[in-house]
Amino acid sequence: MILLVARQAFRGVAKSAERFVKRALRWVAVVIAGIVIVVLGVAFIAVGAVKWFALILPSWQAWVIVGAFLLLIGLVLSLATLVSSRA
């Protein structure tokens, strides 16, 4: 009798854990897909900006300007994340 109650309890815990893991994996997959889409978007925008700047500047200067701009964006986002995590 005690063994049957223990089995039922274990099945309930196992199903709950399985649902939690599936939900977590689905959430992680969506986050990773979002990150990939954002990175590709930023890359295409950066290359487009370089092509546009290359019309009026030498190519190396266009790459330096776009690279410095992306570096600044990365630093601002990193510092904002750091500040929000400490608050």
pLDDT digit string, tens, across residues 17-75:
888 889 989 999 999 999 999 999 999 999 999 999 999 999 999 999 999 999 999 89
Question: What phi, psi does 41 have (nearest 5°)?
Answer: -65, -45
Q: Which of 85, 86, 37, 45 is nearest to 69 (CA)?
A: 45
Every domain of the chain and the residues it spans: 2-86
What DSSP state is assigned to residue 1? -
Torsion of CA 26, 30, 32, 38, to 10 degrees: 180
**For residue 70, with 0-12 CB atoms within 10 Å meaning exposed, 13-18 middle and 19 or more buried, which class applies?**
middle
What local confidence, expressed as pLDDT, does residue 84 receive? 83
